[in-house]
Structure 1
Amino acid sequence: MAGNGALSGAVIAVAGAGGPAGRAALLRLAEAGATVVGADNDPERLAEAVDAARYASGGASVTGEPVDLLDLGSTRDWAEHIEKDFGRVDGLVHLVGGWRGSETFIKSSLDDWDFLELLLIRTVQHTSLAFYEGLQRSDRGRYVLISAAGATKPSAGNASYAAAKAAAEAWTLALADAFRKAGGAGGPTSAATILVVKALVHEAMRADRPNAKFAGFTHVQDLAEAIAGVWDKPAAEVNGNRLWLTEKP
């Protein structure tokens, strides 16, 4: 197991671990003492992210494997062997993302919807179904979805993206209700929660656009800090709640 941080002994899976937000999350969770298991559909990008987190965190327990999150069987296999290998699973952080939009509402492409429905909704369905029982067995299970403010206040050109994010949020809130009901009179012991951002920014973006303000954007390191902080709060406090990291629209 990992070190002596606040998450020492915890086993946390990160879906979409190869991107900038995934890299930041792998590192922050490892620094907090967790054993971290990343997944991504790009093996090379995932390997780079895992190696970077191991190096930066001083050799913490960070592993990764390619997983097809669009296949429920593959996602269930991933969840099951994490619990088998490490004896428990205490979290699933869902960082699978992507964006497509249009200039106007009338120019919205339903091809974009088909793409985003798979990427932003189907992967949430599969990870939540695959990890539910393991998270419920944990005494500090957490399912963490990263969402966007646009799901609350959609813009005309972002109809498909906002609708997909809103659907993913609704599915996650249904998961939260399942945790609430499973907890009975004593309240939930596991939780599903949503972290809401306007958009994300990382250092490479700032370097590419040095004059951009990125107003309201959340830095991936701040997001990672908020992700780790979900385990600091009681399950009942975060279960079924949206935690805003940007101004509410």
Structure 2
Amino acid sequence: MTSATGGNGRGGALEGAVVAVAGAGGPAGHAALLRLAEAGAVVVGADADPQRLAQGVDAARFAHGGATVTGDTVDLLDLGETREWARRTEKEFGRIDGLVHLVGGWRGSASFAETDLGDWDALERLLVRTVQHTSLAFEGPLQRSGKGRFLLVSAAGAGKPTAGNAAYAAAKAAAEAWTLALADSFRKQGGEAGPRAAAAILVVKALVHDAMRAERPQAKFAGFTDVRELAEEITGTWDQPAEEVNGNRLWLTKKPA
């Protein structure tokens, strides 16, 4: 799937839309802020790291003069704080048309027997609890939008876990299941007319960005998805009808055999 807007995206499906980005301080978040601003959206980023968030917000504003890009330091592990972020955003901008979930993290082990359950504790909070909180907080505004999108970035390993990635794969699989439950809610609320909003999963093998390439110039990063490509695919979900997006896994890498 690719975006149909092309060019700078002005006048497309995202022109004037309000999109919240959770985990906006990382490389994928920075790329999403840039691309969404380019597409004409009002972009509201959130991250627990104010410095990294400010860097992404400033870069998007500088690259796209006149774009509205804001940043909020939000603890997404606090449901009340996450709900307040959603409430404040909808009140200020009048609507919310998207929540892009880019909160990430990885921990693994050399073998299954060496798995540290502390890794599960950490990843459950980062990869599952933040999905739960953002989906519960933003479900209402996304449904009211008429073109809402809840987008989770997941990993191919969720469906084919390896021995040393038990905690990570299990957390990703749980996050996917939660997102698909939200998709079913959108489907049921839409009734015979079809869903007004969509929840979907963008599946990658892993993500790569320029700093990673600079650190490992000899690495091939085979099958990895560049964060800019991910951002392009994110924006493209608004070019498709909600019914075609809702409840689907959108593969940005080869499906495991």
TM-score by length of 1: 0.98
**What's 2:201 paired with?**
194
Match of 1:204 among 201, 211, 215: 211
The 1-side partners of 2:167 and 2:77 are apart by 19
* Residue 154 of structure 2 is aligned to residue 147 of structure 1: yes
Q: Which one-letter code corresponds to 1:236 in the other structure?
A: E
Spell out the pairing of 1:61-76 with structure 2 (5 A cutoff): 61-76=68-83
Return the TM-score normalized by structure 2. 0.95
1:44 corresponds in structure 2 to 51
Gaps of at least 5 residues in structure 1 are none
Tell me the equivalent position of 1:104.
111
Asked if residue 21 in structure 1 is aligned to residue 48 in structure 2, the reply is: no
**1:69, 1:123 within 8 Å by CA — same for their partners in 2?**
yes
Aligned residue number for residue 170 of structure 2: 163
Q: 1:4 Cα deviation (Å)?
A: 3.8
Query: CA offsets, 1:70-112, max 9 Å, x none?
Result: 0000000000011000000000000000000000000000000
Name structure 2 gaps, 5 residues minimum.
1-8
Runs of 4+ in 1 over 4 A off after TM superposition: none
Q: How many residues align?
A: 248
Q: CA RMSD in A?
A: 1.0
Of 249, 252, 255, the match for 1:245: 252
Q: Using the alignment, how far apart are the partners of 1:5 and 1:31 within structure 2? A: 11
For residues 78 and 6 of structure 1, what CA distance do their matches in structure 2 show? 24
- Asked whether the equivalents of residues 189 and 235 of structure 1 are also in contact (C-alpha less than 8 Å), the reply is yes
Distance 1:157 1:119 in 2: 19
* Deviation for aligned residue 1:218: 0.1
Q: How many angstroms apart in 1 are the aligned matches of 2:97 and 2:52?
A: 25
CA contact (8 A) 1:5 1:31 kept: no
State the shift of 1:185 in Å.
0.6
Where relative contact order (Cα < 8 A, 6+ residues apart) is larger, the structure is 2
SS in 1 for 2:180: helix
Identity of aligned residues (%): 75
